[in-house]
Amino acid sequence: MNPNPEKNKSAGSGKTILASAVGIILLVSLPALPFLFPLSGTAGPDGIAAPGRFHILTLHFPIALVLMVPLFELLGSIRAFQQLRPSVLPLLFFAALSSVAASVLGFLLALGDGFSGRLIEQHMWGGIFTSILLLITLPLKLLCERTSKKTVFHACYFLSLAGSILSLTSTSHHGASLVHGPTYLTERLPPALQRIFQETEQLPDGISLESNAYESLIKPIFQSRCYSCHSAEKIKGDFRMDDVELLMAGGESGMEGIVPGNLEDSEVHYRIIQKPTSKGLMPPSTELPLAPDQITLIAWWIQNGAETDRSIGDLLSAPDSEKVISIIKNMLSSAPAN
Ligand code: HEC
């Protein structure tokens, strides 16, 4: 018990000071992490990666808990559900706690597994920002509970809570794009709907024999199936495919990505024809595999010089193009008419 009631009144109890100190330390140290340990893109030791993997488990807690807060606030304002009101503060506490935990573990995952790139950075800062907002929302809620009248704290609390939810939603979306690729939500929708979401780039929409073969046939495959891990957004295996020079050069193995006219020595081809059980298969076995037609197209393009400035018609005159001709005919007939 605190012998000095004055001190209690000014919210200066030992517990409050301790909680505020922890909160302030977290508020400062979370955003400092990426500056202290920048994401280099090279994988770190198992000691960092192993706990980092638990990010995937932990991240679901703040999502569920944060969304329960407005639900409980809303229901709690109805007489029949009044008993839910006292749960809001503990909910917020565990939401903030799990958000901080998910952020730190996510950071360890990025360091341990060597993630880097724009999408990772966006996701990382989104997670940190969400945690900071929740760490601010929590004491605001406490202040609201201490004053019975509607005060400026209430307005700040609701703004801060709304901000946390928005930030959480955007962070989750970036996270899902990292895991499943940016087209995951829309790629199985009917083409007409996909067009609304502007996810049409992987469709052979409007290609003709005059179209550039690389731009209209090959790049869309790389774009939809490889860029999620091999472009400026996220760079795995130190290999970027969104720049033709880097695509040719290859990644950390030192093998050339593409050797024009030479399938055997092209690491890209070697990786896409691996068995599903092989560790080297690309895309990795956790992802949807390339369709046989897509592999045939890529092989045909490499075989014929992997050029980026030739038209489809031009390349189709090459020998052994019968199979490709039928694939392109199929694509042309299944492409939605404009
Ligand atoms: C989900 C992430 C992911 C996707 C999608 C993905 N890769 Fe990879 N890729 C990796 C990782 C991780 C490595 C590094 C480990 C390794 O070499 O197996 C890698 C390495 C590679 C390498 C070796 C680079 C080198 O020289 O070391 C090639 C080539 C490659 N990928 C090609 C592709 C192609 C082609 C696609 C699309 C058809 C693709 N990848 C899709 C994750 C991915």
pTM more than 0.75:
no
Structure tokens at 28: 């400062």
At residue 198 the predicted structure's pLDDT band, cuts being 50, 70 and 90, is very low
Interval between CA 236 and ligand 1 midpoint (Å): 6
Interval between CA 200 and ligand 1 midpoint (Å): 24
Is-cis flag, bond preceding 283, omega within 30?
A: yes
Closest CA to 37 of 117, 134, 112: 112
Mean pLDDT of 15-31: 93
At residue 338 the predicted structure's pLDDT band, cuts being 50, 70 and 90, is very low
Supply the pLDDT for residue 204: 54
Q: By the 8 A CB rule, do 266 and 256 touch? A: yes
At residue 10 the predicted structure's pLDDT band, cuts being 50, 70 and 90, is low
Ligand 1 pocket at CB < 6 A: 225-226, 228-230, 236-237, 239, 250-253, 255, 257, 267-268, 271-272, 280, 282-284, 287, 290
Nearest CA to ligand 1 atom 12: 236
Pairwise pLDDT comparison (185 vs 28), residue with the higher score? 28
Structure tokens at 302: 């490499």
Supply the pLDDT for residue 173: 87
Mean pLDDT of 292-309: 91
Supply the pLDDT for residue 13: 79
Nearest CA to ligand 1 atom 17: 237
Q: By the 8 A CB rule, do 58 and 94 touch? A: no
DSSP 8-state code for residue 186: T
The minimum-distance atom of ligand 1 relative to the CA of 270 is 29
113-143 pLDDT, tens digit per residue, is: 877 777 788 899 999 999 999 999 999 999 9
Supply the pLDDT for residue 332: 63
Pairwise pLDDT comparison (313 vs 23), residue with the higher score? 23
Supply the pLDDT for residue 205: 57
pLDDT > 90: percent of the chain: 57
At residue 206 the predicted structure's pLDDT band, cuts being 50, 70 and 90, is low
- Is the C-alpha dihedral spanning 185, 191, 195, 201 positive or negative? positive
- Which of 114-123, 181-190, 244-253 is most confident? 244-253
Supply the pLDDT for residue 203: 39
Supply the pLDDT for residue 298: 95
d(Cα 324, Cα 285) in Å, to the nearest integer?
Answer: 26
Mutation test of ligand 1: which of 271, 294, 302 has the most ligand atoms closer than 8 Å to its C-beta? 271
Backbone Cα Rg of the chain: 26
Interval between CA 229 and ligand 1 midpoint (Å): 7
User: Which residue type does 87 have?
Assistant: S
Pairwise pLDDT comparison (243 vs 179), residue with the higher score? 243
Q: Is the confidence at residue 89, as pLDDT, over 50? A: yes
To the nearest whole number, what is the mean pLDDT of the chain?
A: 85
Token pair 């024009």 is found at 260
Interval between CA 237 and ligand 1 midpoint (Å): 6
3-state secondary structure of 212: strand
Q: By the 8 A CB rule, do 110 and 42 touch? A: no
d(Cα 50, Cα 223) in Å, to the nearest integer?
Answer: 30
Which residues, at least 6 apart from 86, have a Cβ–Cβ distance to it below 8 Å? Answer: none
Q: Is the confidence at residue 180, as pLDDT, over 90? A: no
Interval between CA 331 and ligand 1 midpoint (Å): 26
Q: Is the confidence at residue 218, as pLDDT, over 90? A: yes
